[in-house]
Structure 1
Amino acid sequence: MPEFHSLKQYDVDLDVFHANVLRMGCMVENQLDNAVTCFRNRDLILTESVIGTLQEVNRLEITLDSECRRLIVRHQPTANDLRVVMGTNKVVSDLERIGDEVRKIALSAKDLHLSSEPKSIAHQDMLNQLAGLTITIVHNALDMFARLDATYSDDLISEEGIITMKFRFLSKRLIDEMTDVWRAEPATLNVLWTIKALERITDYAKNIAEQVIFIVDGKDVRHAKIEAA
């Protein structure tokens, strides 16, 4: 972590906080991969495991929030120190939101498993590709946070924008197809919900990258385009 504080205990507590956030990130990343596998293979047992683990993620978010408050009360960090703590805590919030979207994917997979519809899903290949890109961008954002390295943040943020356009293209294509036949197949709706969840996950991964920039450089780039307009 950046050396902004003279108290050794503060550094230790901050390192522990950072490590616990990474543990939460690892859990979320693993369950995202599992949820995508559930959706692809309709694995009901793995689906239930994903949902159960995500409940633990929610409990961990509450624990980390309390840990953050104790850190602030105990050490009363200011300036750069406070920026590191608050930026890290915002990463916790984004991880919890990713967990919520992963749960939606798992529930869609469960719904598909319990349905009597054919195993094939509309545009499965494209969905698999986008899911893979989502997993990669989450992994890269967490790697940035683990190393507190904002070097590749611009690339990640740009990549998120490209992936979002692909998600919207596929969503429009599915909606147009349903409009043509004047009906919405349950499987197609599950694909749409999964696409939306994956799109939101990439957005939260971008938020994590932006928080790394804030922690390392003190720059708030969330609304840079708005301010530049």
Structure 2
Amino acid sequence: MNKQRVDGHTSQAYDAEMNQVVNHVLEMGELVTQQVEKALQAFIHSDSALAQQVVEKDHLVNKMEVDIDNECVQILVRRQPAAGDLRAVIAVIKTIKDVERIGDQAKRIARLALKASEADQMMAPKEFNEFQTMGSRVLEMLRGAMQAFRKMDAEDALSVALLDKQIDNDYEAILRQNMTYMLEDPRNITRIVEMTWAGRAIERIGDHARNICEYTIYFVKGQDVRHQDDAVLEATVKGR
């Protein structure tokens, strides 16, 4: 298995600082995962209290991004890392940006939930089937991306990155489903449009989770795989 530790530097001080940074990234990832999970539940059940919790906690995600970014800057200034050590810091800086953007998407879903709750809009459970499937899959992807980052495991990161295509397929299924529901009952158009926007937010979360996986692959393999298709990612990880 293609693994690499972020604490392989000859300087014990660097190792200690990077371990602390990685732990903070994982804490940020855990908070954001909770935000996404709560936002999805709030939207499905029109739970305004839960949605409000997500909105109010978003500033914590933003603060964590700023704090971790500052930690990385301090490491760059004090330790002047090179090669793999420098890649580790760069991977962290890029990762927290995408984690923060996932938090933004969770807040967007929560605000849609608040809007639906205020309008007293409810839909039949069957109309959330595709939405729930997509939501569960993106949570699995997000958790997997953070786990691959924790282990700095390129093969795990690849496996998770490949799930993004299924998230895209799920979103297309939601679009088709919502078109059918609007034709069946035009009274639900507003709520269905909001579900479409929420589905788009979930799809974007999948994109950001894939980005996190790409940064892990970059750290382990030393090759920038951003904006590359699945075949290039597989070739990079498997050394083809």
TM-score (norm 2): 0.87
Are residues 1:138 and 2:142 paired? yes
**C-alpha RMSD over aligned residues:** 2.2
Spell out, residue by residue over 1:175-196, the C-alpha distance to the aligned partner (whole angstroms, 9 max, x if none). Answer: 4654787787221111011000
* Aligned residue number for residue 60 of structure 1: 64
Closer/same/farther in 2, CA of residues 182 and 3 from structure 1, 3 Å limit? closer
Report how many residues are paired.
Answer: 228
Partner of 1:222: 226
Whole-Å Cα distance in 1 between the matches of residues 40 and 95 of structure 2?
22
**AA in 2 matched with 1:151:** E
Distance (whole Å) between structure 2 residues aligned to residue 16 and residue 176 of structure 1:
50
Which of 116, 121, 128 is the aligned partner of 1:124? 128
SS at match of 1:123: helix
Residue 195 of structure 1 pairs with residue 199 of structure 2: yes
Q: Does 2:172 match 1:168?
A: yes
User: Per-residue displacement from partner, 1:101-131 (whole Å, max 9, x unpaired)?
Assistant: 0001101111111113334367211111111
Q: Deviations over 1:19-63 (max 9, x none)?
A: 111110010001111111111222211111111111110111111
1:194 match: secondary structure: helix
Secondary structure in 1 aligned to 2:154?
coil
Q: Pick one of 31, 38, 50 that aligns with 1:34.
A: 38
Map residues 96-115 of structure 1 onto 2, 5 A cutoff.
96-115=100-119
Task: For 1:180 and 1:112, locate their aligned partners in 2 and report how far apart those are by CA, in whole Å.
Answer: 20
2:28 paired residue number:
24
The partner residue of 1:49 within 43, 53, 57 is 53
Matched-pair contact (CA < 8 Å) for 1:32–1:102: yes
Q: Point out the more displaced range, 80-89 or 111-120.
A: 111-120
1:209 and 2:213 are equivalent in the alignment: yes
Name the counterpart of 1:9.
Answer: 13
Match of 1:72 in 2: 76
Asked if structure 1 preserves the Cα contact closer than 8 Å seen for 2:54 and 2:110, the reply is yes
The residue type paired with residue 35 of structure 1 is A
CA contact 1:121–1:187 (8 Å) conserved in 2:
no
Secondary structure of 1:219's counterpart equals coil
2 CA distance for matches of 1:63 and 1:69? Answer: 10
Rounded to whole Å, the distance in 1 between the matches of 2:138 and 2:82 is: 36
- The answer to whether the Cα contact below 8 Å between 2:130 and 2:173 also exists between their aligned partners in 1 is no
Superposed CA offset, 1:150-169 (max 9, x none): 22233222211122122123
In percent, how many aligned pairs have the same letter? 28
Q: Could you tell me how far apart the structure 2 residues matched to 1:122 and 1:111 are?
A: 21
